[in-house]
Every structure is written in C-alpha cells, then in structure tokens.
Amino acid sequence: MPADEDSHGINSVVDKLSRLPPDLLTEASQHILSYLQGQNSGVDSAEISHRFQRAGVTFDHEAVQSIIRFLLLTFRSAGKNNLSADELVSKLKEGSSKWPKASLQVLHALWSEQGAAVRAQQDAQSMLSIGQLVDMQWKLGMAVSSDTCRSLNSPYVSLLLKIAEPSGQISQKALEMTIPQFQVYVDLQ
C-alpha cells in the first residue's frame, strides 16, 4: 500500500509479516492503532520486538522497524484516504501478491473496528495542527541610528525561527524586539 516503497521492499516487509501468527500481528497492529488514535504517545518498538521474541519469532532491529513503519504508513494512508476495510485489503493485495489470507483478515477486522477512530483522530489533529519549532537563532544587536534619530543607541534582540508546518513545509519567521519587548515575551512563556 505505501506508494514510496518499491515492490521488492513491500514484498520484503510482507514476507516478514507473513512470519507473524495472527494473534501477534493483531497485537502489533493494535499497538500502532492505539498510537494513531492518540491513546499512546508513541510506538514502543522494543516492546513489540520483545513480544515477537516471547512468541518465538525473532527479527533483527531493522526488520522490526520496517514492519512498524509499514503498518504505520499503511494505517495512516488508509485514514487519510478514508478507505474502508475492503478497500484497504484491496490496496494491500495490489501492492503485493504475497499476503497470507490470515494476515489480510486480521488487518481487515482491525480496520473495520478502529478505522473510524483513526480517521477521527487525524481530522482532529489536522484542525488543531500548529507548526513545530525546528530551530531558533538569535543575536543581540545595537541600533546606533535610524532615519528619524541620529543617536539611537538602543539594544535589540533579533530572532530567526524555523518552523515545520503541519503540511511538512519548513518556514522561517524573523522577529526583532527591543530588550523590554523581549523581556515581556520571555515572561509570557
């Protein structure tokens, strides 16, 4: 389903997923769906890996990461594109012919139960989305004169903020403040 993976990459992940018994795939997918519904602050790959090992399925760290990334991207895409469970399974089959029937049944059942909650969380996040501060640069300067005043001698703070917008774009915002304005700004934080 994820479009940015080539078919060999998808088949490789599907091969790994095929090694998981249905209950283990359900457990891993449930963990990811809980995160996408906003119930967890993140996906604990160490916990998922530990559960795999307890069940006798061993993967290296990169394999576990690829499974998690694939499932995250699959469920996110399904939510973003408002796919039904049948449409999700159809897209997965288009991406790879190696899917075991049992795995597709698990994903179909989970998406039927929880897809609406994932979509609701995505809608809420998109309405409430604000940019995230990526970088901040600052400098302290001294304005010595201006067009209207020959002897200004006023200190100022200059800020350059880099913000990751919800769309993924990075924007820059430049601010200049006098020291008293900056102190008020800092006190508000």
Give the CA distances from residue 37 to residues 32, 76, 112, in Å, rounded to whole numbers and listed in that order: 9, 10, 14
Q: Smallest Cα–Cα separation from 103: which of 26, 7, 11?
A: 26
Lowest-confidence segment of 1-10, 33-42, 131-140 by average pLDDT: 1-10
Provide the mean pLDDT of the chain.
87
pLDDT confidence tier of residue 8, bands split at 50, 70 and 90: low
pLDDT per position as a tens digit, 42-63: 888 899 999 999 999 999 999 9
- Dist. CA 59–CA 49, nearest whole Å: 8
Last residue of a domain, which of 128, 157, 177?
A: 128
- pLDDT exceeds cutoff 60 at 150: yes
Does residue 1 have a pLDDT over 70? no
Q: Total domain count for the chain?
A: 2
State the pTM of this model. 0.65
108 and 181 in one domain?
no
Q: Which domain, by its residues, includes 149?
A: 132-187
Do 46 and 92 belong to one domain? Answer: yes
pLDDT of 5 over the 60 cut: no
Same domain, 165 and 118: no
Q: How far apart are the first and last CA of the chain?
A: 43
59-99 pLDDT per residue, tens: 999 999 999 999 999 999 999 999 999 999 999 999 999 99
Distance CA 139, CA 142 (A): 10
- Indicate if 95 and 55 belong to the same structural domain: yes
Q: Spell out the long-range contacts of 80-88 with Cβ–Cβ below 8 A and sequence spacing 24 or more.
A: 80/122, 82/119, 83/111, 83/115, 84/111, 84/115, 85/109, 85/111, 85/112, 85/115, 88/1, 88/115
How would you list the strands of the sheet with 132-143, edge to edge? 132-143, 154-164, 170-178
| H/E run at residue 177 | strand 170-178
**In this structure, are 122 and 176 located in the same domain?**
no
